[in-house]
Amino acid sequence: MKLLLLGLYLLVTLSKYALDWINLRHRQKEHPPLPQAFDGKLDQERLTRSDAYALAGDKLSFIEDGVGVVLTLAFLFGGLFPWYDQRVQELAPGFIANGLLFFGLLLLLQLIVGLPFSLYRNFVLEEKFGFNKMTFKLWCADTLKSLLIGGILFVVLAGGALWLVQKVAHSWWLWVWGFWAGLSLFLMYVSPYLIEPLFFKFSPLAKEGLEDGVRELLDKAGVKAGKVLQVDASRRSAHSNAYFTGIGKVKRVVLFDTLLEQLEDQELLAVLAHELGHWRCGHIRKRLIKSQLVALGSCWLAFTLLNADWLPSLLGLEQLSFAGQVLLLSWLASLVGFFWTPLGSFLSRRDERQADQFAIELVGSGRELASGLVKLARENLSNLFPHPLYVAIYYSHPDLVSRVNWLEKRKPKGEK
C-alpha cells in the first residue's frame, strides 16, 4: 500500500511538472497573429519581456516545488513521520495540546522553508521586472502581521475543532463543520473592517469624474448597496487588479490604484461592470454554498475514515496519533484534489464568461473590456500563450487571447 501511495504521489508530481513543461514549450513556439484589440498595444519587446518574466517565475517555482517534494518524500516515506509523531506525543500528551503542537511545528517549518523564496520573489524577481514597490521594512511588517493573525486563527480553528472532537466524539463532524462554517462566515463580515485595513488603505475613488460614471453603472446594474473603493496596492506592487468581495451588506468592489492609473475611464467602467456581473449572477453566493457543502462532506468523510482505524496501515505503520492521522488524510485529500482541479477551473471559467456577458449587456459592447484587459496584460507581463491543456486544468479565467476574441465578436443579446 505504501508503494502504491508513493506511486500515486509521484504520478501527480510528475504530471504537474509535465504540465509546466509543455506550457513553457508552448509559450516559446510561433503563434498566429493576435486579435485586433492588441494592435499598437503590444510590441515584440513586450512579448520578449513577458516571456523572460514567465521563465524566471517558472524557474523559481520549479525549485520551490522541488524542495516541497523532497521534504514530503523524506517526511512521509523516509521514516520521519512516525518519529515526529512519537516525539510530539512525548512532549504534549494531552489531546488538544498534542494536535496544536503537531500542526503548529509543521506550519512553522513550512513558513521557514518558504521565507527565502518569498524574499527572492519580491526583492529579486519582481524587482528585476519593475514590479516590486515594497520596502524591506514593509515586507517585514506584512510578514509579522500575517504571522500573528495566522497564529491566532490557527489556535482558534484547530483548538476549537480538537475540543469538539473530544467533547462530542460520536458526531463531531457536524459540530466541527458548523464551528468552521460559522467562523468563516463571521470572518467574511469582519475582515473588511478588522483584517484588511491592517495591510491596505481603502478610500473612495479619487479619479475626477469617475465616481459619477460608477454611480450610473451601479444604478443600471440594479445594484443598490455596496461600495466601490480603491486600494493603495501600489505601495507593494505595480501589478494591477480588480476584485469583488463580501456578502450581505459588506459587499464591495475594490479597484487597485495601479489599475486606475493604467486604464481609461471607459475601460475601468467595463472592468467594474464585469465585477458587478459576478455580483448579479450570484457567483459569490453559489461558490460559498458549494464550498460549504464540500466542507460538510469532507468532515463526514474524515470522521468515518478516522474512526475506521486503518489509516496508519496505509504507510505501513502500527499506529499514529489523531493529529498524525488527520495530517495523512489531508495529504491524501490534496492528492485526490489534483484530479478535481480541472472541474473547479472549468466552473470558474464559466462564471467569468457569464460576468463578461453581463458586462457586454451593461456597457453595450465588449470592446472596452477587451482593450482594458489587453492593457492589463501588457502592464502585468501576462503570459499570452498558455498551452490549452494547461488552461483547461489550471486557469480560473479564459486565456486572454480567446477571451478578447470572444469579447470582440460578442454583441449584447437582441442585437444583431
Q: Smallest distance from the beta carbon of 282 to Zn ion, in angstroms? A: 14
Helices (H), 92-135: 95-120, 127-128
Q: Smallest distance from the beta carbon of 169 to Zn ion, in angstroms? A: 43
Looking at beta carbons only, is 355 or 376 nearer to Zn ion? 355
Looking at beta carbons only, is 132 or 383 nearer to Zn ion? 383
Looking at beta carbons only, is 246 or 312 nearer to Zn ion? 246
Q: Smallest distance from the beta carbon of 369 to Zn ion, in angstroms? A: 11
* Sheet bearing 252-256, strands edge to edge: 202-204, 227-231, 252-256, 242-245
Q: Smallest distance from the beta carbon of 275 to Zn ion, in angstroms? A: 7
Q: Smallest distance from the beta carbon of 256 to Zn ion, in angstroms? A: 14
Gap between the Cα atoms of 377 and 400, Å rounded: 8
Instruction: Give catalytic residue positions.
Output: 275, 356
Kind plus residue range of the DSSP H or E element containing 3: helix 2-27
Longest dimension (CA), the chain: 74
Q: Smallest distance from the beta carbon of 283 to Zn ion, in angstroms? A: 8
Q: Smallest distance from the beta carbon of 355 to Zn ion, in angstroms? A: 5
Looking at beta carbons only, is 143 or 241 nearer to Zn ion? 241
Residue type, 66: G
Nearest Cα residue to 12 out of 258, 288, 338, 259? 338
Gap between the Cα atoms of 214 and 258, Å rounded: 18
Taking 3-state DSSP, the helix, strand and coil percentages for the chain, each rounded to the nearest 5, stand at 75, 5, 20
Looking at beta carbons only, is 218 or 271 nearer to Zn ion? 271
Answer for the pair 129, 381: CB distance below 8 angstroms, yes or no.
yes
Looking at beta carbons only, is 271 or 326 nearer to Zn ion? 271
The angle that helices 210-221 and 322-363 make with each other, rounded to 10 degrees, is 100
The distance of Cα 78 from the centroid of its chain, to the nearest Å, equals 31
Gap between the Cα atoms of 368 and 407, Å rounded: 9
Extract the C-alpha cell encoding 176. 466541527
Looking at beta carbons only, is 164 or 260 nearer to Zn ion? 260
**Interaction site with Zn ion (CB under 5 A):** 352, 355
Q: What is the DSSP string of 262-318?
A: HS-HHHHHHHHHHHHHHHHTTHHHHHHHHHHHHHHHHHHHHHHHHHH--TGGGGT-S
Burial class (CB in 10 A: 0-12, 13-18, 19+), 217: buried
